[in-house]
Amino acid sequence: MSEMWTAKLRTKWQKELPIEKLLPDDQPAYVASWIYVFGVLTLSALAMIIASGIVLAFEGPAWYHTSDAGKFTNSMHFWSVQLFFVFMVIHLWGKFWMAAWRGNRFRTWATGAVAFISSIATAFTGYLVQTNFDSQWISFEAKDGFNSMGVGAFFNVTNLGQMLLLHVAFLPLILGVLTVVHVLMVRKRGVVPPIDAEPALSNRGPQ
Amino acid sequence: MSISKESKHAFDAAPWSGKTKRYDIVKEGTIALAVVAIFALFLSLLMGSPDETPLTFKGWAVSNPDNFYATTVQELAGTSGTATYGAPYNKGAEGLNVGPLWPQKWMGVTHPIDSVNDFVISPLSTQVMSTEIASAVATWKAAPDTQKQDWATAYDDAITKVEGKISDVPAGAYGPVPALAQGLTDMAKGGALDAALLSQGGFFQTDNTKQILFFGDGSYLDDAGTAANLQGGTWGMMNETGRYPGQAWLWLYSFWYQIPPFNNEESKPIGANADLYIMVLMGVMSAGLIFIPFIPGVKNLPMRIPIHRGIWRQYYDENGIKRRKK
C-alpha cells in the first residue's frame, strides 16, 4: 500500500499542506497591515477577469462592437484587468519591502514573479484581439520586437486567430496554474515573519 | 540581541509559534471579491471601454488616394517596408542583430509575403476587372522579372521626385504599373480590398498579417497612431485610444525607447538594432525580478530601507522591538 504512488502523494500532501494550513482560521498576529489585502484583491480581480472573459468567449471578439451587453461585459473585463495590475503591482512591491523570500520562500516569490510576467503576456494578447484600431496599431508596432528575437516565427502578433486562442486558452492556463501554485506555497510556508522579529517572542506559543 | 544568520534563517523558515489571531480566509476572499466587483462595475458604468473603429483600406484610399497609390507602386517596385523587411516575411533584409547573434535571420522565412502578388496582383485578380486593368495584369504577368522591376522602379522614382503628388508625375516608360496602381486604388475605394487581402482567394481566414503590413507601408496607419498619441517615441506603448488607461505595466519597456542610444536609429550598433537590444534587456531584467533574492545589494534593500517598520509597526510597537543595524 505504502508503495503506491497515489498513497505516497496523499501522505506527502497531508504532511506538507494539511487542510488546517489550506483553510486556516488563525494567522500570525503580525499580519496587521493593509498591504496584506492586495494579494487577495489581485486574486479577486483575476476571478472577475476570468468570469467576464468566459462571457466574451461565448459571443466572440467582435460582439462588444455591436451589443450594449457586449460593451458592458467588455468594460468589466477591461477594468478588472486594470484593477488586477494595480493590485498586483502593489502586492509585488509590498512583498519586496518585506523581503518575503526569506525562510525558504524563494519559490513563492519566483512563482509570483513569473505569474506577473505571464500576466503581462496575457494582457498584451488581450489588447491584440480587441478587433479595433488599437489592436491594429499594437500588432503593427509590436511585431518588430518579436520578429527581432526570432519569436515572430511562431508567435505572430498580426495573426488574430493565433492571438485569440493564446489569449483565451494557453496563457490563462499558464497564469492559472502559476497562481494556484503560488497560493498553495503561501499556505504551505505561511506568511513571512517581520524583519527584525525576535525569535524569543515567538516561542511563547499561541496567545 | 545578536542573532546568527543561520538562526535567523531557521526562524524565518519555521512555522510561526508566536501570538496569533482569528482569521476567516473564506470571509476575506468573499468580501474582497465583492469589493473588486463593485469597483469594476462602477468603472464600467461610468467610463465604458475603448473601442475606436478600425481603419480600412477604403478609408485610406478615399481620404488619401495619392498615398495609397504611391504605396501600391512601392509594393510593385519592392521598396516598401514589407518588401524590404526580412524574416519572417521575406529575404529583403538581414534583420537585427546583437553582436554575432542574428535570431531574426536564423529563424528564417516562416510567414512568406510577396508584396507584389499578395498585395497587388492577387487581390486585383479576384475582381471583375475593366479591360484596361485586365490588360495591365496580363501584361505584368507575361513580362520578364527584369522588365517588371524596370517599370516599377522608374515609376516609383518618378513619384518620389514629385514628392508623392501623382498628378505631377511626368510621362515615362512605366509599362502597366500606373494602371495596376489605379486599379488597386479603385478597388480599395470600393471597399473590396479589405476582404480580398484577408482571404487571398480562400474562404476561412483568421490571419490579418497581410492587411496589417500593407497598412503599415503607407502613412495612413502611422498618421492615425500619431493623432492618437500612440507612437513608441512618446511612450505610446503604454497608451490607449481616447481617455482610457493603456498597458501602463509596459512603462519600463517603453522607457528605453525614449532615451539614447535606443531612440536614435542612426546610432550603431544599439540604436539601429534597438528592438532586439531592448527585448534582450527586458529579458535580463525579467530574470532579475525572479532572482532578486540572490542579487547582492538588491536583496538587502528591504533591510536597509526601513519601509518594513511601517508594514509591521503594530508588531514592533507591541513588542518594543527597535530596528537592528544592518
- The answer to pTM > 0.90 is yes
Q: What band does A204 get if pLDDT is binned at 50, 70 and 90?
A: very low
Q: What band does A206 get if pLDDT is binned at 50, 70 and 90?
A: very low
Q: Give the minimum alpha-carbon distance from A4 to chain B in angstroms, rounded to a whole number.
A: 29
Q: Which of residues 216-245 of B touch A (CB under 8 A)?
A: 216, 221, 224-225, 228, 230, 232, 236-237, 240-241, 244-245
Query: B165 and B300 share a domain?
Result: no
pLDDT for B233 equals: 86
> CB pairs below 8 Å between A and B: how many?
325
pLDDT for B230 equals: 93
Residue B246 confidence (pLDDT) above 50: yes
Q: Which of residues 98-157 of A touch B (CB under 8 A)?
A: 98-99, 101-106, 109-110, 113-114, 116-117, 120, 123-124, 127, 130-137, 139-141, 143-150, 152-154, 156
Residue A205 confidence (pLDDT) above 70: no
**What is the count of structural domains for chain B?**
2
Query: B122 and B221 share a domain?
Result: yes
Q: What band does A202 get if pLDDT is binned at 50, 70 and 90?
A: low
pLDDT for B85 equals: 97
Query: Could you please report the per-residue DSSP string of chain A?
Result: -TT-HHHHHHHHHHHHS-HHHHS-SEEETT--SGGGHHHHHHHHHHHHHHHHHHHHHHH-TTHHHH-HHHHHHHHHHHHHHHHHHHHHHHHHHHHHHTTTTTTT-HHHHHHHHHHHHHHHHHHHHHHHTS-SHHHHHHHHHHHHHHHHTTGGGT--TT-HHHHHHIIIIIHHHHHHHHHHHHHHHHHHH-SPPPTT--GGGGGG---
Does B14 sit within 8 Å of A137, measured CB to CB? no
The answer, for B36 touching chain A at a CB cutoff of 8 Å, is yes
Domain map (residue ranges) of chain A = 35-87+94-98, 104-191
Does B47 sit within 8 Å of A79, measured CB to CB? yes
Among candidate residues B205, B227, B249, the one where a domain is terminated: B227
Does A48 sit within 8 Å of B315, measured CB to CB? no
pLDDT for B326 equals: 57
pLDDT for A199 equals: 79
Of B17, B49, B232, the CB nearest to A74: B49
Of B8, B19, B313, the CB nearest to A207: B19
- Residue B185 belongs to some domain of the structure: yes
Mean pLDDT value of segment A124-138? 96
Query: B221 and B108 share a domain?
Result: yes
Residue A60 confidence (pLDDT) above 60: yes
What are A8-41's pLDDT values in tens digits? 999 999 999 999 999 999 999 999 999 999 999 9
Cα separation, B319 vs B15, in Å, equals: 19
Query: B203 and B300 share a domain?
Result: no
3-state SS string over B120-184?
HHHHHHCCCCCHHHHHHHHHHHHCCHHHHHHHHHHHHHHHHHCCCCHHHCCCCCCCCHHHHHHHH
Closest residue of chain B to A144, computed from CA coordinates: B275
The answer, for B278 touching chain A at a CB cutoff of 8 Å, is yes
Q: What band does A196 get if pLDDT is binned at 50, 70 and 90?
A: confident
Mean pLDDT value of segment A77-106? 98
Does A97 sit within 8 Å of B44, measured CB to CB? no
- Residue B4 belongs to some domain of the structure: no
Residue A201 confidence (pLDDT) above 80: no
Q: What band does A140 get if pLDDT is binned at 50, 70 and 90?
A: very high
What are B279-322's pLDDT values in tens digits? 999 999 999 999 999 999 999 999 999 999 999 999 999 998 88
- Residue B193 belongs to some domain of the structure: yes
Structural domain harbouring B306 = 292-326
Lowest-confidence region among A46-50, A64-68, B200-204? B200-204
Query: B306 and B214 share a domain?
Result: no
Does B305 sit within 8 Å of A97, measured CB to CB? yes
Please report residues of A whose CB lies closer than 8 A to that of B57. Answer: none
The answer, for B266 touching chain A at a CB cutoff of 8 Å, is no
Question: Between residues A3 and B164, which one has the greater pLDDT?
Answer: B164
What are A146-183's pLDDT values in tens digits? 999 999 999 999 999 999 999 999 999 999 999 999 99
What are B252-281's pLDDT values in tens digits? 999 999 999 999 988 889 999 999 999 999
Among candidate residues B190, B207, B227, the one where a domain is terminated: B227
Residue B178 confidence (pLDDT) above 90: yes
The answer, for B25 touching chain A at a CB cutoff of 8 Å, is yes
Q: What band does B203 get if pLDDT is binned at 50, 70 and 90?
A: confident
Does B250 sit within 8 Å of A120, measured CB to CB? yes
- Residue B13 belongs to some domain of the structure: no
- Residue B178 belongs to some domain of the structure: yes
pLDDT for A2 equals: 65
Query: B75 and B221 share a domain?
Result: yes
Of A79, A110, A161, the CB nearest to B40: A79
pLDDT for B94 equals: 94
The answer, for B202 touching chain A at a CB cutoff of 8 Å, is no
Residue B167 confidence (pLDDT) above 50: yes
What are B83-97's pLDDT values in tens digits? 999 999 999 999 999
Query: B302 and B198 share a domain?
Result: no
* CA-wise closest residue to B48 among A41, A167, A47, A69: A69
Cα separation, A109 vs A189, in Å, equals: 11
Query: B182 and B299 share a domain?
Result: no
- Residue B29 belongs to some domain of the structure: no
Query: B297 and B190 share a domain?
Result: no
- Residue B41 belongs to some domain of the structure: no
ipTM at complex level: 0.93
